[in-house]
A and B are shown apart, each in its own frame.
Chain A
Amino acid sequence: MAEVTEGGPTGGGTPTVIVDDLHIVYKVYGAGGDAEKGNAANALMRVLRRQGRPQMKEVHAVKGVTFVAHHGDAIGIIGRNGSGKSTLLRAIAGLLPPHKGAVYTNGQPSLLGVNAALMKELTGERNIVLGCYAMGMTPTEVREKYDEIVDFSGIGEFVQFPMSTYSSGMGARLRFAISSAKTHDVLLIDEALATGDREFKRRSQQRIKQMREAAGTVFLVAHNLDVIEETCNRVIWLHKGKIRMQGDPQEVLDAYNKA
């Protein structure tokens, strides 16, 4: 079960991402508890007693994960909620520091997702430009990609309207179109394909495939196992911060479904 089946035509190429015994611990504020009733008197007592913040909790989200990803791999990461999937992606992207162990990468892995940079009060038009710049494109690249993004998202004349007027599907399509406009060495996708109608899902899978060919390595986190099965040549099953199983999508998904 632990043997790695190097599926896919390009698996076994040059390594692009090496994750070596990675541990991630982060602090959560405001987790709350019995000690904190949330009024001013309690807060004052806490300060007087020099107790710091009792509601701070440490979460050991990833506990010793090790794997090597190669050029041409599309790796699906599956697992229940809270199993550390998103944390692992952020660590690969270099956005979370390892507590122990290391992540070695080639170039700059990028999380697919510009959602945080977009502003819903602004028109789609402005958001496309803003999102492209946020991903580090040059003005020439933005001009080149603009029409392609509008076409791909299929939102038509809605591009002139503020994003707050979009349906959730339209918003998701535009966000995916913007994020996927840039080519990346190592691409990390977190649940990006969850929304949109069937037609858009098909096109976005097409796009992921293209990006996978252009990019080298793709990591995909999704709850929708069909997407993983169709897109990935390798699957890692995370359970409580550890790798439960990894290898050929078919085998891992079967085991995951039985568990």
Chain B
Amino acid sequence: MSENSNNVQDSLFPEYLNGKITCKPDAVHEPIDGGYPMAPGQLYPTEAGTLFHAGNILIALVGLPATSKTLLAVAMTRYTRWLGVRTRSFHVSEYRRHKSHKKISLNLEFEQEMVDEVINDMKDFFENKRGQIAIFDSLNILRSDRQNLVKLFGDINVKVLFIESILTDAELVNENIEIALRSNQYLNWRKEDAVDYYTKKLSITESQYEQITREEQCSYLKYINFGKQLIINHNNQFGYLINKIVFFLMNLRNKTSRVYLARCGRSNSDKYKDDELLNDEGIRYSKVLTDLVLKRVKLNRQGKELDSESLTIWAGPRKRTIDTGMFFLEEGFTLQERSQLKQLQPGNVVDLSFEEIQSKFPKEYVEYLKDPYHYRFSRAESYHDLAVRMEPLLLELEHMKRDVLIIAHESTLRILYGYLLACTSVDVPKLEFSRYVLTEITFGPFSNTVERIPIK
């Protein structure tokens, strides 16, 4: 079977750029200094690179241990960076882990030292790193701590919003303790030690905990049982950006599920214009893909049996893409055709190789190379356009608790990967998704992980 890539639109973009990127780890914790090429879904910056005239904001999480604060902090960072906001999350637990390699007993003085260090770094982030949103992942369960934050950051013209995570649902609480015990903080701990440490910490903090009340007169959002209920009390003073974050939080769910990304199989001409069904090779591919994905899903469920609810398949709205998912239907799974997965509209460069573009549209080609993420060929979409149009789908991904396989064109896979692994706008157009490789991304509370599995 020929590798007829010279006329294939979808293999065109990465190959002629400086180096493809085949696998990039989660960059959601990358520091953002100076000219960090902010993220894919960026709309339009205003003065000084801050978005939406929203000013500088400190989001401080509030809540007992194991109330998903870390997960919330990281998820908000990922989403706002994707919007183009200069956001960074600051986790006291990480500072503690780096400072002390031995298993420490609870030491309140040491805890306070850590908190002070984080606060200094957050101030530095606003004052010297052009940061717009800092997310403070700490307990903040004392009223006096919160008042202190409002004062400290008010002095440097940063508004403070508290997000208090409250869990009353016993099932969710247990789920969270499980997740917390698997986090970095308890890396290489014996399980009994971790449980013991954790229980102690919980009992100390529980007795001190002062929930936020209206009388405190601060701006807050109560996030109850992971979005089941929200109470918002900020007098709408933050505007579009914070409302957009609330919107995101309404869609977010805690999950440890996986997202699988795969290309469709081959068709005879493999052209954009011919919307064909798969050829024989393509059908063989889709069979192998089906077996591999089901094997992985099963493996990750640690022995639990598969049922039709274990996995959902989303396919782009093209014949060969949907055709690639057909064997899953036979296995009893649901396949949804998703119009948002429509590939990057190629416009006038449809089905042209890179050399052909270069000779036919030399001027456009030069412009394209300058900024592949934002450049639009005539009648075409840019990656930026594509990201904006795919936002509802990304939010739906955040909402799903079950595994999902996405079969789509390389351009849309780049956007999905770019969001899930916090890639920069420079990286996204270079990401490579070859056929014959299945990408498996696992949601984690602190970072998402990725594995590339060959499809044989």
Q: Do A and B bind each other?
A: no
Residues of A at the B interface (CB closer than 8 Å) are: none
